[in-house]
Amino acid sequence: MTPEGSTMQTLGRGFDIPVHSTRQCFRELLTGMSRPCTVVRLPEPGGIPGSLNAAACAVLLTLADMDTPVWLDRTDGHVNDFFRFHCGCSFIRKCSGATFAVFTDGKNLTGLKDVPRGTAEHPERSATLIIQVESLEKKGNLIFSGPGIQHRTGLGVTGVDSRIWACVDENRSLFPMGLDVILTAGNEAVCLPRTVRREDASCM
């Protein structure tokens, strides 16, 4: 309970047609994960709480439920209430137990090292990172290759902490453990699954 009255009073709507939109969003995320670096457009929820952008909100509305503890890089009562109501998920204080780790500020990825990478026996117990950035572009100075990318593909991201690229590089040595990343800006998202490889742009 907050002293200035229950934050429930500001609770917003989720998707207008939940069944339809969550399926559409899931389909888009599948496309994004199987074709890394593709910019996918996610359906927009009716109400977007506090510090989230539309795509991050859509991802959580689609994927989070009571079995997926979510960690947020800040304390935001609106976000907590929103997802507790619509998804039944819990928010935890330590990211080491999270299934989804949400960074509302992509420029500050403090805490990234504590996000679980899974274990050798259970690589699926890793967390999925949802990072809010300023913009995403199909073309850019970052070059990626790997399963789902025919040769090489470019990606332009602004407003992201460089520590994320160290994390993507680290995925190569950790495989099959590692982190799957969803970058979000506005209502768009780019998925970088743990199989993706960052190429040195100067070699191109």
Write out the residues near other proteins by the rule CB under 8 A.
1, 6, 8-9, 11-14, 18, 85-86
Q: How far is the CB of 140 from other proteins (least distance, A)?
A: 39
Q: Which residues contact 39 (CB under 8 A, 6 or more apart)?
A: 136, 137, 138, 188, 189, 190
**How many Å apart are CA 23 and CA 48, to the nearest integer?**
18
**Residue 11: CB minimum distance to other proteins, A:** 6
Select 20 or 94, whichever has its Cβ closest to other proteins: 20
Amino acid at 185: A
Rounded CA separation 118/149 (Å): 25
Q: Which tokens belong to 96?
A: 């080491």
Residue in the block written with tokens 């859509």: 58
- Angle at which helices 77-86 and 54-63 pack, to 10 degrees? 40
User: What is the bridge-based pairing of β-strands 70-72 and 180-185?
Assistant: unpaired
Nearer to other proteins, 24 or 108 (CB): 24
CB of 79 to other proteins, least distance (A): 16
CB of 4 to other proteins, least distance (A): 13
Alpha carbon distance 50, 27 (integer Å): 26
Q: Which helix (H) or strand (E) holds 158?
A: strand 153-158
CA distance 81 to 160: 27
Minimum CB–partner distance for residue 1 and other proteins (Å): 6
Is the Cβ of residue 1 or residue 120 nearer to other proteins in the bound state? 1
**Nearest distance in Å: CB 13, other proteins:** 6
The residue among 15 and 103 lying less far from other proteins, judged by its C-beta, is 15
Nearer to other proteins, 85 or 175 (CB): 85
Which residue, 71 or 82, has its beta carbon nearer to other proteins? Answer: 82
Q: Give the Cα separation of 162 and 151 in Å (integer).
A: 24
